[in-house]
Amino acid sequence: MKNKVIIFIIIIILFSSCSFINNSEKKDDIIEHPDIILNSATYKINRNQNDYILLNSSKIEIYNKKNTTVAKDAIFKFVNKNGENEVEGKCDEMSINTDNNNVLFTGNVTFSILDPEFNIYCEKLSWDDKNQLLTTQDQDVSVESEIGKFEGSGLSAKINIRYFEFNQIKKGELY
């Protein structure tokens, strides 16, 4: 009888300490970690056969499964097939989709088109590589160029043909 009680107590302890894991919940809780982390690095991302983005960053995280590269404290250059810088700038964080080379720049963004000179300052800027299009959605943006200074929101800039427009201009000055 004493043995049965001891066995019964052990069985109760075992069953009370077990838990069942629902696989669907487990998949949602997975935190993705980068495949590669580079600290204080220079990284070259090919845009097509000859053009590339040259990136200097305090920390670069590469997520192969998500086709994403994230750079902290980024300084970047878009280099053309002739080895010339077309664009340069900096931001707190840069997220690059390595499938289509679209980029999201966030935090203290400075984006400079070099010829003709055109500087964009904002907190968040999106780059659509296929369409060569920069957008800020409805966020505040300041622009300085050879023809003037502008402040507004909702910038859309098609840089390959040098076409720029705002949804709203708050202040502007032409030279």
DSSP string across 20-87:
---HHHHHHTPPP--SEEEEEEEEEEESSSS-EEEEEEEEEEEETTTTEEEEEEEEEEEE-TTS-EEE
- Place domain 34-174 in its CATH homologous superfamily: Lipopolysaccharide (LPS) transport protein A like domain (2.60.450.10)
Q: Write down the pTM of the prediction.
A: 0.77
Collapsing DSSP states into helix, strand and coil, what is residue 125?
strand
Could you state, in order of their start, the residue ranges of all structural domains in the chain?
A: 34-174
Half-sphere exposure (Cβ direction) of 18: Cα atoms closer than 13 Å: 7
* Distance in angstroms (rounded) separating the CA atoms of residues 49 and 77: 16
The whole-number pLDDT of residue 129 equals 87
Q: How big is the chain by its Cα radius of gyration, in Å? A: 25
Asked if residue 112 lies in contact with residue 128, where contact means CB atoms within 8 angstroms, the answer is no
The whole-number pLDDT of residue 50 equals 81
- Cis ω for the linkage preceding 116 (within 30 of 0): yes
Compute mean pLDDT per 10 residues along the chain, 175 residues long, and list them: 67 57 50 88 83 91 93 93 90 94 95 87 94 90 89 89 86 84
The whole-number pLDDT of residue 13 equals 64
The whole-number pLDDT of residue 3 equals 67
Looking at this protein, which amino acid is placed at residue 43? Y
